[in-house]
Amino acid sequence: MKLVAKYTLALVGTLVVVLSIGAYFRLGFTREQIEDDLRRSHSQVAAVLEDSIDDLWVDAPRDEALRLTNELIAKANADVGASLFRWEPDGGTHARQAIEAGELVSHFPVEANGKIYGAIVARESLDQINAHMRTQLLFTIGGIVLIVAIGAFASVVLGAWLVRTPITLLVAQARRIGRGELANSVAFGSRDELGELAVEMSAASKALAESQAKSERETAARLSAVEQMRHADRLSTVGKLAAGVAHELGTPLSIVGGHAQMIAEGEVKGEAAIASARAIDAEATRMGKIVRQLLDFARRKGPEGVTCEPNAVVERSVQLLGVMADRAKVKTELKLAIPASRVEIDEDSLQQIVTNLAVNAIQAMPSGGTLTVSVERIDKLVRIAVRDTGPGIPADVREHIFEPFFTTKAVGDGTGLGLAVVHGIITDHGGRISVDTGPTGTTFSMDLQEASA
């Protein structure tokens, strides 16, 4: 059952009970008053009659007294317009009034000189009073019914206004919260309990929305932290380096250990043992090379404040690779900056960078091509670019090219440290390296600070 209906029913019940009790006492009181009036009027008439009668019975003879008494009573009856009063010679010795069989019976003994001569008796039917009381009762019931009906109507109307409308709004809001729609709030201006509930509900959904937003932000932050970690992991971190070192050294160490074990246990002998020893030597050399490059990678920062002239260094580096380029049918071109300037990097580091990039470029053109190394001045920067005419770097490889130990070359051809070393040296000298690659070739461009002097 709806709240308003319950509330109305309770109100109707209370009204009926309270009004009925009130009506019961009021009607009872009214009836008592009417009866009292009746008794009083009996007494008053009887008292007047008594005054005249008692002397008669003392002074006059009995017959005369009786005749005069009846005459006086008849006169009194005529005055009240009904034959209420009678003379009863043996009407009792005590004055009393009582209701007997639907009528009020009053006895008033007449006494003189200590002798009771008879009694004035009044009998009056209560039918009229009863009829009056029934009418009163009907009116009262009608009144109660009317009041209760008005009360019920008011309760329903006010209930709809004060209770059902706000509750409908609150229920709708609760359902919205349930569906996760937290942006809406509910307000209807009233300061009662429902108004308070609405305010609390709005506050709760706001808090919920905030905590949801917060947890979303936290999740996003966590995700981006994880992304950053992954990113960091992918780039040249200690972990990546360690994995690379482990992998690079794991294989040659396996070979060295394996051959040694087989020689020691006599499983290989003679020529085979010599071959095993050569393999051990080759792997030891390879491991030495890895260690050296690791040292380059770690100690890539050159001496502080040293500068060099890039034209000369680039020219010398390319000349040193002349034989390798010829063998690979690669033509070399040099474009040097005019006039010459100085850059903030030591000669050895710059030569290592140019050599690493040029070797990569030559290897990227297995069927020949052109290697172009250029030096040019752009504002306060010196740009050194190494360009090949090879097939370009695939996108998935390009992401990783500056990571240590990342290589696309066959086992033994490269350690995967070349570009990582280049990247490290350039950034350590305050420069920038970028790569531009496409199907017609790849260009590595490095911008280094021009020395001020």
Partner 1 sequence: MVPLIVLAEDHPELRSLLASALEIIGYHVVPVGTGAHLLGAVTRLRGEGRAPTLVISDVRMPTLGGIDAARTLRATGDRVPLILMTAYGDAWTRREAASVDATLLDKPVRISALRDAVARALLDSAA
Three-point CA angle 391, 395, 400, nearest 5°: 105
Q: Which listed range, 53-61, 156-164, 205-213, 246-254, lies at the site for partner 1 (CB under 8 A)?
A: 246-254
Q: Which is nearer to partner 1, 255 or 417 (CB)?
A: 255
Distance in angstroms (rounded) separating the CA atoms of residues 368 and 334: 17
Q: Which is nearer to partner 1, 259 or 387 (CB)?
A: 259
Helix then strand count (H, E) for the chain reads 12, 9
Q: How far is the CB of 410 from partner 1 (least distance, A)?
A: 8
Q: How far is the CB of 322 from partner 1 (least distance, A)?
A: 31
Q: How far is the CB of 390 from partner 1 (least distance, A)?
A: 19
Which residues are registered as beta bridge partners of 302? none
Q: Which listed range, 39-47, 242-250, 396-404, 414-422, lies at the site for partner 1 (CB under 8 A)?
A: 242-250
Binding test (CB under 8 A) with partner 1, winner from 246, 274, 340, 397? 246
Q: Which listed range, 107-115, 203-211, 241-249, 314-322, lies at the site for partner 1 (CB under 8 A)?
A: 241-249
Q: How far is the CB of 253 from partner 1 (least distance, A)?
A: 3
Q: How far is the CB of 248 from partner 1 (least distance, A)?
A: 8
Residue whose C-alpha is closest to residue 123's, from 77, 81, 85: 85
Query: Six-digit token pair at 316?
Result: 């010398």
Residue-wise over 206-227: b if at least 16 C-beta within 10 A, else e? eeebeeeeeeeeeeeeeeeeee
Helices 310-320, 347-363: crossing angle, 10 deg rounding: 40
Residue 192: DSSP 8-state: S
Q: How far is the CB of 254 from partner 1 (least distance, A)?
A: 4
Q: Which listed range, 2-10, 238-246, 347-355, 396-404, lies at the site for partner 1 (CB under 8 A)?
A: 238-246
Q: Which listed range, 70-78, 215-223, 243-251, 303-311, lies at the site for partner 1 (CB under 8 A)?
A: 243-251
Written as one string, the DSSP assignment of 287-320 is HHHHHHHHHHHHT----TT--B-HHHHHHHHHHH
Q: For residue 339, say if its preceding peptide bond is cis, omega within 30 degrees of 0.
A: yes
Q: Which is nearer to partner 1, 337 or 420 (CB)?
A: 420
Do the beta carbons of residue 202 and residue 187 sit within 8 Å? Answer: yes
Distance of CA 204 to CAs 17, 166, 180, 183, 418, Å? Answer: 43, 17, 12, 11, 60
Q: Which is nearer to partner 1, 99 or 246 (CB)?
A: 246
Q: Which residues in the 402-441 window bind partner 1 by CB under 8 A?
A: 411-412
Q: Which listed range, 24-32, 211-219, 239-247, 366-374, lies at the site for partner 1 (CB under 8 A)?
A: 239-247
Question: 């051959």: which residue's tokens?
Answer: 259
Q: Which residues in the 29-68 window bind partner 1 by CB under 8 A?
A: none
Q: Which is nearer to partner 1, 128 or 254 (CB)?
A: 254
Q: How many residues bind partner 1 (CB under 8 A)?
A: 24
Sequence length of the chain is 453
Site string for partner 1, 278-317 (x = CB under 8 A): -x--xx----------------------------------
Q: Which residues in the 249-278 window bind partner 1 by CB under 8 A?
A: 249-251, 253-259, 261-262, 267-268
At position 356, the amino acid (one-letter code) is: N
SS3 97: strand
Binding test (CB under 8 A) with partner 1, winner from 10, 150, 242, 320? 242
Q: Which is nearer to partner 1, 172 or 260 (CB)?
A: 260
Written as one string, the DSSP assignment of 119-185 is EEEEEEE-HHHHHHHHHHHHHHHHHHHHHHHHHHHHHHHHHIIIIIHHHHHHHHHHHHHHTT--S--
Q: Does 233 bind partner 1 (CB under 8 A)?
A: no
Q: How far is the CB of 299 from partner 1 (least distance, A)?
A: 24
Distance in angstroms (rounded) separating the CA atoms of residues 5 and 185: 28
Q: How far is the CB of 238 from partner 1 (least distance, A)?
A: 13
Residue whose C-alpha is closest to residue 304's, from 452, 447, 428, 448: 428
Q: Which is nearer to partner 1, 114 or 270 (CB)?
A: 270
Q: Which is nearer to partner 1, 30 or 251 (CB)?
A: 251
Question: 């007494």: which residue's tokens?
Answer: 43
SS3 444: strand
Query: Six-digit token pair at 394?
Result: 């695939």
Q: Which is nearer to partner 1, 256 or 433 (CB)?
A: 256
Q: Which is nearer to partner 1, 364 or 433 (CB)?
A: 364
Q: Which listed range, 16-24, 248-256, 288-296, 366-374, lies at the site for partner 1 (CB under 8 A)?
A: 248-256
User: Which residues of the chain form contacts with partner 1 (CB under 8 A)?
Assistant: 242-243, 246-251, 253-259, 261-262, 267-268, 279, 282-283, 411-412
